[in-house]
Amino acid sequence: MPTSQVAINKKTANRFIESKQSRWSSRIINLFFCLLSILFIIPLLLVISISFTDEKTLLQSGYQLIPEKFSLAAYSLIFDSPGVLLNAYGITILVTVIGTVIGLFLTSLTAYTISRKDYRYRKIMTFFVFFTTLFSGGLVPFYIMVTQYLHLKDTIGALIVPYLLSPFFILVMKGFMDKIPLEVIESAKMDGASEWRIFFTMVIPLSLPAMVTIGLFISFQYWNDWWLGLLFIDNQNLIPLQLMLYRVMSTIEYLSNNLSSVNVSIDMTQFPSLSTRMAMAVLAAGPMMLVFPFFQKYFISGLTVGSVKG
Amino acid sequence: MNKQWFKVIAGVLGLSMVLVACGGAKEEKKTAGEGQQKEELPMVELVWNFPLSAIPQDLDTVQEAVNKITKGKINATVKLKAHTFADYNQKMNTVVASGESYDIAWTANWNWDYLQNQSKGAFLELDDLLNSNAPGLLKSMPEFVWDAAKIQGKVYGVPNYQTVTKREGFIIQKRFADKYSLDVSSIKKLEDIEPFLKQIKEGESAEIVPFLNDKYGRFNIMPQSLGMEAITANNIIGVDLKNPETPINLYETEQYKHYLDTMRNWYTKGYINENAATLKNKNDIIQTGNAAVQFHNVLKPGGEVEAKAANGGNDVIYVPLTEPYASTGTVITTMQAINKNSKNPERAMMFINLLNTDKELYNTISFGVEGKHYTKVSDNVIQVNKDGGYAPNAGWVFGNTFNGYLVEGVDPAVLEETKKANESATKSPLMGFKFDSTPVMAEIANLATVIDQYLPALETGTWDPNEKLKEFQDKLKQAGTDKVMDELAKQIKAWKQTK
């Protein structure tokens, strides 16, 4: 997530500089980060602008930041038969919402458990979690696990279950929860609160920044995913949005690389035009780009605390 | 403490091993009885994997229609599993590695490699099945097609019979040819087109590209017109057709130097698009109708109609430089193979037989259901309904294309001409030979890096070959061309002995 990291760096850098260094150097650094931000934003703007450009102008005069000839053709083409797109949108939203809620719940539960200093096996448990970040079973065992043991092939579960618990998110959240003093929990216990009550009424509110940050990360992971769909979904009604986009893009790329020396015929005109592809990209990325700024303020406390503790 | 850790790790490793072992264990192949009668056949379901440009939305209707036919004829239903061309390789590798069951899978030399997967043991040997269960299939294709499909003397995949030839030459937009009254018969080799390019450059607006080139260059698709055949990946090593047993480095030939000089000449004169060295997808330019002349290697009968659509609706003419030519590579571009672990190999073979001999089945899988996905114009000519939800437009993925309906606009003589071209084609002296690159994998990878670095700028004329060609050749040599040539010579020799 480069944009969020830049955002964090920028803010922390600014604070540091304002208090300790002269204005002159802070201006240079500000300027540097402004330029850097622009560099990040330009490609995005370009994609949006291409999606609004007339196809013919696009092919003749290339990419331009301000469309030479404005056109809504790409979008109208997509919304002419919106059924497939809307269905994919629905799947993606469903998966993102369910996945984020359950994923966040499980992540925080696990992180909380292994952050409790009075839990006897916390070191071993932490190692278990950590171990999976170092070694994975690989693609084939993963595939076998999901299809032949969990029987999730061609179900919506295949899009949700594999991302429910990510060791990295657990460790980041554990880092945050480590800071909650054990005394607070103990005193609540003395007052007669059950473990669940402590978790829901004390731990979760106390770690709100971490919850929001991790929650957003989890939702990004679900929103941007095409990989699980590619592996496990054959039913066309369960295809998520990003997979739809990915398939168009990757097939065009693959065919233009491979087709010239093969004597089979594939009609390349049946693929959506460049501006239509970009319009699809904008539609696919749009909602998350809008959501992002609202959560940004939580990132500073949510993430830095996690990273300090490792 | 240490002991505890060790136990944990050992436990985790042990558990994962068990999981892998469980998943990897496959059911033993059943030996099924032979010579069963049709009435006795028990009902089975076959699973068929194949790739398309895009996964059709209305695959279910087609599957139903297909099953109606297959149920009556071989008492089997077929589950159609469509993938995209880009995903196919990865997806099938995962399916095979995980032991997931399937019966039939599409394979080729350019996507989910036939030779490689055969050597991994993914495919069932088909010779016996072909003889006992597919009477019509063997006769439906010329002998050399079967020869091309053989690996060490045995057939592991059934080619989908279609255009099995290549014919190199120019695709020229008719409007320019007419305007400058181009004498097509005067064009015999690559540089004969130059005066025409000059006329276009001078007479047309700047957006018209006289000769379209892209970063992959044109040399790799013109070996035949230069009297050579390319064999390894990236077309580095091949053979001179006059002496087909001695491998040569194609990039060290006189012909290559000549090609580069021609391109450089055209580039400096402005006949080649300036962005050629970085152009990945030349179709974006072709679609605008701005590409006046292109060089292509598959000028097949009737192709002008398809090319018209691809050229933004402008009519094109084909100017071939070679006669139709067939080699291993042109035959095994599309085939069906049977899974080694298939539970019903006989039935799978019967189904493949039907795909290649039964017109009704072939047309259903290629064009869908009449009235919904296409409408009949006359008995054998149809019009495809583009919004019908099923228009794969790639019958060659499924079976014998000569059984197919003609799509409206295609000349009915095309099928006959294609057949004639297939049968009369010059056959490669290495027909049936397939290069196994496993022993020289590292060299091939190194060579690919060198190619990426030099080829785009050299072959589009962006660089002066006098300065860079030597450097390119030296780098190729360093990367191991000699070793690849030795390996190739060895394999050709071994292959000759099995013939």
pLDDT of residue B201: 92
Q: How far apart, in whole angstroms, are the C-alpha atoms of residue B312 and residue B309?
A: 6
Containing B171, the helix (H) or strand (E) segment is strand B169-173
- Closest by CA position to B114, among listed B376, B338, B273: B338
pLDDT of residue A300: 62
pLDDT of residue B313: 86
Is the CB of A265 less than 8 angstroms away from the CB of B284?
Answer: no
User: Exposed, middle or buried: residue A167 (CB in 10 Å: 0-12, 13-18, 19+)?
Assistant: middle
pLDDT digits (tens, 9 = 90+) for A68-105: 778 887 787 777 767 778 888 899 999 999 999 999 99
Q: How far apart, in whole angstroms, are the C-alpha atoms of residue A175 and residue A169?
A: 10
Long-range (24+ apart) CB contacts under 8 A made by A102-106 are A102/A160, A102/A164, A103/A163, A103/A164, A103/A165, A103/A166, A103/A218, A103/A222, A104/A211, A104/A214, A104/A215, A104/A218, A106/A164, A106/A165
Chain B residues whose beta carbon lies within 8 Å of the beta carbon of residue A263 = 163-166, 297-298, 300, 330, 333
Chain A residues whose beta carbon lies within 8 Å of the beta carbon of residue B99 = 144
pLDDT digits (tens, 9 = 90+) for B362-384: 999 999 999 899 999 888 889 98
pLDDT of residue B4: 54
pLDDT at position A12 over 80? no
Containing A29, the helix (H) or strand (E) segment is helix A23-51
Q: Which pTM value belongs to this model?
A: 0.80
The residues with which B249 forms a beta bridge, in sequence order, are B237
pLDDT digits (tens, 9 = 90+) for A163-208: 999 999 999 888 888 888 888 888 888 888 888 999 998 888 888 8
pLDDT digits (tens, 9 = 90+) for B138-191: 989 999 999 999 998 899 999 999 989 989 999 999 999 999 999 988 899 899
The residues with which B491 forms a beta bridge, in sequence order, are none
pLDDT of residue B491: 92
Query: Is B297 an 8 Å CB contact of chain A?
Result: yes
Query: Is B16 an 8 Å CB contact of chain A?
Result: yes
Is the CB of A147 less than 8 angstroms away from the CB of B281?
Answer: no
Asked if B433 and B236 count as a contact pair (C-beta separation under 8 A), the reply is no
- Closest by CA position to B31, among listed B346, B318, B306, B339: B346
pLDDT of residue A76: 78
Query: Is B473 an 8 Å CB contact of chain A?
Result: no
Give the list of residues 6+ apart from residue B85 with CB closer than 8 angstroms, or none: A251, A254, A255, A258, A266, B51, B52, B53, B111
Rounded percentage of chain A residues whose pLDDT exceeds 90:
23
pLDDT digits (tens, 9 = 90+) for A25-46: 888 999 999 999 999 888 888 8
Biggest distance spanned by C-alpha atoms of chain A: 79
Asked if B339 and B102 count as a contact pair (C-beta separation under 8 A), the reply is yes
* Amino acid letter, A116: R
User: Exposed, middle or buried: residue A295 (CB in 10 Å: 0-12, 13-18, 19+)?
Assistant: middle
* Alpha-carbon torsion angle B322, B328, B332, B337, nearest 10: 170
Which B residues 193-212 touch A at CB under 8 Å? Answer: 207
Of A148, A247, A264, the CB nearest to B23: A148
- Closest by CA position to B56, among listed B27, B80, B28: B80
Kindly report the number of other CB atoms within 10 A of residue B67's CB atom.
17
What integer is the mean pLDDT of A225-239?
89
Q: How far apart, in whole angstroms, are the C-alpha atoms of residue B384 and residue A109?
A: 56
pLDDT digits (tens, 9 = 90+) for B181-190: 999 888 998 9
pLDDT of residue A255: 83
What integer is the mean pLDDT of A298-307?
57
pLDDT of residue B23: 42
ipTM: 0.77
- Closest by CA position to A109, among listed A119, A95, A94, A97: A119
Asked if A243 and A263 count as a contact pair (C-beta separation under 8 A), the reply is no
What integer is the mean pLDDT of B381-388?
86
Chain B residues whose beta carbon lies within 8 Å of the beta carbon of residue A275 = none
Rounded percentage of chain B residues whose pLDDT exceeds 90:
54
- Total beta-carbon pairs less than 8 A apart between chain A and chain B: 148
Asked if A67 and A53 count as a contact pair (C-beta separation under 8 A), the reply is yes
Q: Are strands B325-326 and B426-427 parallel, antiparallel or unpaired?
A: parallel
- Closest by CA position to B108, among listed A36, A261, A120, A138: A261
Biggest distance spanned by C-alpha atoms of chain B: 89
For A46, the token pair is 């370009």
Kindly report the number of other CB atoms within 10 A of residue B278's CB atom.
12
Q: Phi/psi of residue B324, each to 5°?
A: -55, 140
pLDDT of residue A285: 81
